[in-house]
Amino acid sequence: MSEATFYLSTPIYYVNDAPHIGHAYTTTAGDVLTRWHRQRGERVWFLTGTDEHGTKVARTAAANGVQPQDWCDRLVDDAWRPVLSTVDAANDDFIRTTSERHRKGVQRFWEVVRENGHVYEGSYEGPYCVGCEEFKFPGDLVPGVEEFAGEQVCAVHGRPVESLSEPNWFFRLSSFQDALLAHYEAHPEAVQPTSARNEVLSFIRSGLADISMSRSSVSWGIPLPWDPAQVVYVWFDALLNYVTAVGYGAEPGTPEAEQFEQTWPASVHLVGKDILRFHAVYWPAMLLAAGLPLPATVFAHGWLLVGGEKMSKTKLTGIAPHTIVDHFGSDAFRYYFLRAIAFGQDGSFSWEDMAARYQAELANGLGNLAARATAMVERYCEGVLPSSGLLGPAETALRDKLSAAAATADAAVLVLDFAGGIGAIKEFVDAVNLYVTEQAPWVLAKNGETERLHAVLYTICESLRGIAVLYHPVMPKATTELWSQLGAAAGLGAIGDQLVTGAGDWGQLPAGSLVVKGESLFPRLDEPAS
């Protein structure tokens, strides 16, 4: 196992919103990427969690007649943790901003930044969007429509902002303009994709202004250690989860401190493009102010759209993940959203498109291939995988295609081109299905060509071995079942221990493996209720 830790985070999701497939999309992408790195033999840490402070949570809790902490506890237990199971996320940690470890880390961080001279007392007056929990600049607002015509509204929520006037503590963001530009010039990979990098550079070059790092009119938050009458501004609290979760602020010599040394800086922060400014401008400036190294990459993916608009609880366009998973299954959910949408671009969810891909690519493609292969080994070889014998031209060609597919998929996933990686594996599945049609093992069996039949059946099953390994980070349930049907565990070990970097090496599935035709990997689906 390599010494470096591949540390990936999702944004921490604002607990006051119900989870929708946009949230699950980000988590799924993070899960697939971290599973892939695990199957490269790397040490991995996958973090997700919830953002629980701020005005919006406090007001909603009051409206429901409960304390903010009770409100957060209920939402985390009933909504946010369950969605991880819904999409089969294998996260290593779940951080809550109301946890004691986070509070201690946040207070220690801002003490360090203040000691370094990057915080000062002042007053803020201007627009604030409670929905975004964000201080807005005039250029962030747009003309309202319909009931808000004639007013300036938040471009994200389409609702009027509030006017604030309060004494706050300010962070000297302007001091880091040149350092941020120099960092991004030296490390073009630090913000991806290119469109996001260009947006960040443009914003920094336009000039950075100091920003409030505290609130005096909000009580639901983490108190400033030197001014308990104020709480840390919710974003400057939330962003710190990426370091507090891995031990920042812990006493030297403790396991938590050791974890921080081994894990930070992060390898990838996955974020939605609407929160790019916080993660690629404010966050790295905060880290510089505290003397900490910057994350390797902030990757801003696009939005999932419904009816041409970003999903939103406010606009009633959110779709709960279980609505899709209950019908198609979690594997199909994971496959579809990373296969059908280029990561980094906007994409529209279509139930019809998902149903079509499920049938064509999963049920008729991989599922049918597995069913035919295992059934033929049971029928013609009594369930015992035969020896491959000598490879003919068709088998050699398929061997070479598996090697190429594995290399292409690995290269693609490492740069977060999930669609490209999955597409390369899917093309190999198609090639194997064509091989089955062309070689017609049922004809070989009928004609008594036993040696040739055995070579063909081994080739199909060995191809499925490679497919199972490569698809495992994407579809862990189906591939685990396929691994069992191939009898691979006895000779090769658990599928999660197989290296994707070795998936293309031919001849690994041992002859003599016990092959069993099991349940359909992707069963026929009933039409959803209208």
Mean pLDDT along residues 238-263: 96
Query: Which are the contacts of 458, defined by CB distance < 8 A and separation ≥ 6?
Result: 385, 386, 387, 388, 389, 509, 511
Nearest to 385 by CA among 462, 332, 471, 440: 462
Question: With bands split at pLDDT 50, 70 and 90, how would you rate the model's confidence at 2?
Answer: very low
Question: How many angstroms separate the most distant Cα atoms in the chain?
Answer: 89
| Residue 176 phi, psi dihedral angles, 5° rounding | -110, 10
Mean pLDDT along residues 429-433: 98
Q: What is the pLDDT of residue 305?
A: 83
Burial of 163 (0-12, 13-18, 19+ CB in 10 A): exposed
Three-state secondary structure readout of 220-249: CCCEECCEEEEEECHHHHHCCHHHHCCCCC
As given in the structure block, the two tokens for residue 384 are 């015992």
Percent of the chain with pLDDT over 70: 97
User: Which residues are tagged catalytic?
Assistant: 20, 23, 129, 132, 154, 157, 310, 313
Given a cut of 80, whether residue 316 has pLDDT beyond it is no
Q: What is the pLDDT of residue 529?
A: 45
Q: What is the pLDDT of residue 396?
A: 97
Distance from C-alpha of 406 to C-alpha of 431, rounded to nearest angstrom: 14
Q: What is the pLDDT of residue 476?
A: 98
CA-CA-CA-CA torsion sign (147, 153, 158, 162): negative
Side chain identity at 231, as an amino acid letter?
V
Question: Which segments of 320-420 are extended strands (E)?
Answer: 347-348
The residue written with tokens 């971290």 in the block is 34
Given a cut of 70, whether residue 317 has pLDDT beyond it is no
Question: With bands split at pLDDT 50, 70 and 90, how would you rate the model's confidence at 156?
Answer: confident
58 or 129: whose pLDDT is higher? 58
Q: What is the pLDDT of residue 438?
A: 98
Mean pLDDT, the chain, as a whole number? Answer: 94
Q: Per residue in 126-144, pLDDT tens?
A: 788 877 877 777 778 888 8
Q: In whole angstroms, how far apart are CA 254 and each of 108, 248, 266, 306? A: 16, 11, 20, 48
DSSP H or E run through 435: helix 418-439
Question: With bands split at pLDDT 50, 70 and 90, how would you rate the model's confidence at 353?
Answer: very high
Which stretch of 311-315, 324-328, 367-371 has the lowest confidence by average pLDDT? 311-315
Burial of 387 (0-12, 13-18, 19+ CB in 10 A): exposed
DSSP 467-522: HHHHHTTT-HHHHHHHHHHTTHHHHH--GGGS-GGGTT-S--SPTT-B----S-SS
Given a cut of 90, whether residue 161 has pLDDT beyond it is no
Given a cut of 70, whether residue 433 has pLDDT beyond it is yes
Given a cut of 70, whether residue 307 has pLDDT beyond it is no
The residue written with tokens 């639901």 in the block is 220
Given a cut of 80, whether residue 523 has pLDDT beyond it is yes
As given in the structure block, the two tokens for residue 282 are 């404010």
Mean pLDDT along residues 33-43: 98
Q: What is the pLDDT of residue 139?
A: 76
Distance from C-alpha of 94 to C-alpha of 365, rounded to nearest angstrom: 36
Mean pLDDT along residues 383-409: 96
Mean pLDDT along residues 10-26: 92
Percent of the chain with pLDDT over 90: 85
Distance from C-alpha of 429 to C-alpha of 332, rounded to nearest angstrom: 16
Mean pLDDT along residues 100-123: 97
Query: Which are the contacts of 289, defined by CB distance < 8 A and separation ≥ 6?
Result: 113, 116, 118, 171, 172, 175, 176
Q: Per residue in 453-500, pLDDT tens?
A: 999 999 999 999 999 999 999 999 999 999 999 999 999 999 999 999
User: In DSSP terms, which residues pair with 44 in a beta bridge?
Assistant: 6
Distance from C-alpha of 222 to C-alpha of 128, rounded to nearest angstrom: 19
Q: In whole angstroms, how far apart are CA 457 and each of 60, 374, 389, 467, 485? A: 61, 9, 11, 15, 14
Given a cut of 80, whether residue 314 has pLDDT beyond it is no
Distance from C-alpha of 353 to C-alpha of 356, rounded to nearest angstrom: 5
Q: What is the pLDDT of residue 386?
A: 97
Given a cut of 90, whether residue 51 has pLDDT beyond it is yes
Distance from C-alpha of 125 to C-alpha of 137, rounded to nearest angstrom: 11
- Coil vs helix vs strand at 329: coil
Q: What is the pLDDT of residue 311?
A: 56
Q: What is the pLDDT of residue 242?
A: 98
Nearest to 428 by CA among 399, 386, 393: 399
- Coil vs helix vs strand at 50: strand
Question: With bands split at pLDDT 50, 70 and 90, how would you rate the model's confidence at 312?
Answer: low
Distance from C-alpha of 458 to C-alpha of 472, rounded to nearest angstrom: 21
Would strands 223-224 and 227-232 be described as parallel, antiparallel, or unpaired? Answer: antiparallel
70, 116 Cβ separation under 8 angstroms? no
In the chain, helix, strand, coil percent, each to 5?
50, 15, 30
127 or 348: whose pLDDT is higher? 348
> Side-chain half-sphere of 175: how many Cα atoms within 13 Å?
15
